[in-house]
Amino acid sequence: MKLSSRRPRAVLAALAASATVTAVLTTPYAAAEPVVEQTPTQSAALDPTVDETFDGSTLPAGWNVVDGTWKVQNGRLTGTSTTAGQLSRITFGTPLTDFRIESHLRFESAVDAARWVAFGLDLAPAGAVPWSIATLRNGSTAANGLEFAQRTPANTWNVTDTAAAPIAVGVGRQVALAVEVRGSRATWYVEGREALRTTMVNRSASGVQALLVNGSTVSFDDLKVTPLAKESFIRKPGDPLRVWAHRGGSSAAPENTAASDEVARRGRAEWIENDVQPTKDGVPVILHDDTVDRTTDGTGAVRNLTAAQVAGLDAGSWFAPAFTGQRVPTLGQQLDGLKTRGGNLLLEVKGAHTRDSVARIVTEIRDRSMTSRVFVQSFEPQHLRWMHELAPELPLGLLRSTLDPDPVAIAKDLGLSAYNPSDAAFRTRPGIVAELHAQGVAVNVWTVDDATRWNSLEKAGVDGIITNRPAELYGWNSAFLQRGKPAVLSPAAGQKADRAQQVRIAVTSSEPATITLDGKPIENGAAIDTTGLAAGEHVIKAQVGQQTTESRFQIVATPTGLAGLVLTSGAKPAAISTMTTLLGQRQYRVLALYAGTPAANIPAARRAQIIAEAKALS
Lowest mean pLDDT among 43-47, 66-70, 542-546, 614-618: 43-47
The CB-side HSE value for 485 (13 A sphere, CA atoms) comes to 14
| pLDDT at position 58 over 70 | yes
Tell me: pLDDT of 21 over 80.
no
Q: What pLDDT is stored for residue 345 in this prediction?
A: 96
pLDDT band at residue 510 using 50, 70 and 90 as cut-offs = low
- Which strands sit side by side in the sheet containing 520-521, from one edge to the other? 496-497, 547-555, 536-544, 514-517, 520-521
Q: Which residue has the higher pLDDT, 343 or 418?
A: 418
Of 148-157, 274-283, 497-506, the range with the lowest mean pLDDT is 497-506
The predicted model gives 77-90 an average pLDDT of 95
Per DSSP, the residues of 437-497 read HTTT-EEEEE----HHHHHHHHHHT--EEEES-HHHHHHHHHHHHHTT--EEEESPTT-EE
CA nearest neighbour of 231 among 401, 421, 456, 464? 464
> What would the mean pLDDT of 455-471 be, rounded to a whole number?
96
Instruction: Give me the pLDDT at residue 484, please.
Output: 63
State the fold for domain 50-227. Answer: Jelly Rolls (2.60.120)
Establish whether 104 is a catalytic residue: no
Of 288, 353, 383, 538, which residue is the catalytic one?
Answer: 288
Report percent pLDDT > 70 for the chain: 92
Phi-psi domain of 134 (left: phi exceeds 0; alpha: psi -120 through 50; beta: other) = beta
- Rounded CA gap, 406 and 116, in Å? 54
User: Which of 18-27, 236-245, 538-547, 580-589 comes out lowest in average pLDDT?
Assistant: 18-27
Q: What is the mean pLDDT of residues 81-97?
A: 94
pLDDT of 11 > 70? The answer is: no
Q: Which fold has domain 485-555?
A: Immunoglobulin-like (2.60.40)
Rounded to whole angstroms, the Cα distance separating 253 from 44 reads 39
Of these residues, 104, 246, 353, 383, which one is catalytic?
Answer: 246
Per-residue HEC secondary structure of 493-517 comes to CCCEECCCCEEECEEECCCCCEEEE
How many CA atoms are closer than 13 Å to the CA of 3, on its beta-carbon side?
A: 14
DSSP class per residue in 183-251: TTEEEEEETTEEEEEES-----SS-EEEEEEESEEEEEEEEEEEEBPPPP-SPPTTPPPEEEETTTTTT
Q: Quote the CA–CA distance of 558 and 221 in Å, as a whole number.
A: 26
pLDDT band at 374 (very low <50, low <70, confident <90, very high): very high
| CB crowding 29-43: b at 16 or more within 10 Å, else e | eebebbebebebebe
Residue 246 known to be catalytic: yes
Asked if 242-482 and 485-555 have one fold, the answer is no
Task: Decide: 569 and 606 in contact? Cβ < 8 Å.
Answer: yes
Phi-psi region of 429 (alpha: psi -120 to 50; beta: other; left: phi over 0): beta
Start-to-end CA span in the chain (Å): 27
Alpha-carbon gap, residue 207 to 290, rounded angstroms? 39
Average pLDDT value for the chain: 89
Q: Which residues pair with 186 in a beta bridge?
A: 181, 198
Does the pLDDT value for residue 145 go beyond 50?
yes
> Which of 40-49, 217-226, 438-447 comes out lowest in average pLDDT?
40-49
Q: Which amino acid is at 97?
A: T
SS3 of the chain: helix, strand, coil, percent, to 5: 25, 30, 45
DSSP 130: P
Residue 18 has pLDDT above 50, yes or no: no
Q: Is the pLDDT of residue 321 over 80?
A: yes
Map out the domains of the chain as residue ranges: 50-227, 242-482, 485-555
Distances (CA, A) of 216 to 31, 139, 212, 503: 23, 12, 10, 36
Q: In this prediction, what percent of the chain has a pLDDT beyond 90?
A: 73
Q: What is the pLDDT of residue 19?
A: 31
- pLDDT for the residue numbered 13: 35
pLDDT of residue 546: 64
Long-range contacts of 510-514 (CB under 8 A, 24+ apart): 510/484, 510/544, 511/484, 511/544, 511/545, 512/544, 513/486, 513/542, 513/543, 513/544, 514/542, 514/543, 514/544
Q: Which residue has the higher pLDDT, 75 or 551?
A: 75
Of 403, 384, 284, residue with least CA distance to 333: 284
- pLDDT above 50 (res 43): no
For the residues 380-386, what does the mean pLDDT come to? 98
Half-sphere exposure at residue 453, Cβ-oriented, CA atoms within 13 angstroms: 16
Q: Are 559 and 613 in contact (CB under 8 A)?
A: no
Selection from 616, 617, 580 nearest residue 17 by Cα: 580
Q: Edge-to-edge strands of the sheet including 64-67?
A: 64-67, 87-92, 208-214, 116-123, 131-137, 146-151, 157-163
Collapse the DSSP code of 432 into the 3-class scheme (helix H, G, I; strand E, B; otherwise coil) and give the result: helix
Task: Looking at the structure, give the CATH architecture of the domain made up of residues 242-482.
Answer: Alpha-Beta Barrel (3.20)
Assess whether pLDDT exceeds 60 at residue 280: yes
Whether the per-residue pLDDT at 39 is higher than 60: the answer is no
Q: Phi first, then psi: what are they for 78, rounded to 5°?
A: -120, 130
pLDDT of residue 176: 94
Three-class secondary structure of residue 594 per DSSP: helix
For residues 20 and 584, is the Cβ–Cβ distance under 8 A? yes
Q: In whole angstroms, what is the distance from residue 160 CA to residue 163 CA? A: 11
Q: Are 573 and 516 contacting, i.e. CB atoms less than 8 angstroms apart?
A: no
pLDDT tier at 393, thresholds 50, 70, 90: very high
